[in-house]
Amino acid sequence: MEEVRRVDESYKRDVEELEQELVEVEARRKAYEDMVAGESQSQGRNVQLEDAQVEIQETRLEIVSLTVAIYDYSLFSLIGERIQ
């Protein structure tokens, strides 16, 4: 059970870090989108490149979310094995 407790604590720290990173990335994405929209309107630029960069950031956010889900699954699997 000690190992489960250590894994759980590690998991919680990882999740907290990933959640904080997600908040920061979301804030940067929003700021970037606002900046791009403002620049594009003022300069009449084509925003296809900027849109591609936003898509990359969204993909990164999805990766972070999936990583959290994997940690969830791994932790619950480990706990299940220990209980049985």
Instruction: Count other C-beta atoms under 10 Å from residue 18's C-beta.
Output: 15
> Is the pLDDT higher at 51 or at 57?
57
The stretch 3-20 carries a mean pLDDT of 82
Contact by Cβ (8 Å): 20, 26? no
Which range has the worst mean pLDDT, 13-17, 24-28, 79-83?
Answer: 79-83
pLDDT band at 47 (very low <50, low <70, confident <90, very high): low
* Average pLDDT value over all residues in the chain: 78
